[in-house]
Amino acid sequence: MSTLQQIKDAIDVAITNQTTLGSIPPTSVGGQMKDVAQFASDNATAQTEGSVDILIDGELTANSQLVSSVCKAIILTYAGNTGNFGFLTAQTTDIIDNTSFKIRSLNADGSPNTADNNFVRWCVIK
């Protein structure tokens, strides 16, 4: 099984179990670092949509026509380095199908990281 397939399977399990996907920094695939856009392009047969938005007090609502509770993946990573990083999450309970989803930054104890006002890159793979 390829590393890319293992990543996709892990994301599918996270979505199926309605757990948080967490922060996925530039992804290591086959020993090479790839950012979110590259990971998405590696899934050429899938529909993708993404953007860079800013967290306000550790939270943002991302608008997406592709997002749904059964999409293949929501990939999150920071798009800058301004400090106060947390663990990025996107939960299936925060998805409004074909409309939007919430991205939240959490502290290690699971509490909201309201000090996080960083740019976040997100990508939906359907």
Q: What is the mean pLDDT of each run of 10 residues along the chain (126 residues)?
A: 49 43 42 53 66 92 88 81 85 91 92 93 84
Closest C-alpha among 2, 25, 3 to residue 120: 25
The number of distinct structural domains making up the chain is 1
* Helix spans in the chain (H): 3-16, 36-41
d(CA 100, CA 92): 11
pLDDT value for 8: 54
pLDDT value for 27: 43
Domain that holds residue 21: 3-125
- Is residue 26 classed exposed, middle or buried when 0-12, 13-18 and 19+ CB atoms within 10 A define those classes? middle
Q: Does this model's pTM top 0.85?
A: no
pLDDT value for 45: 61
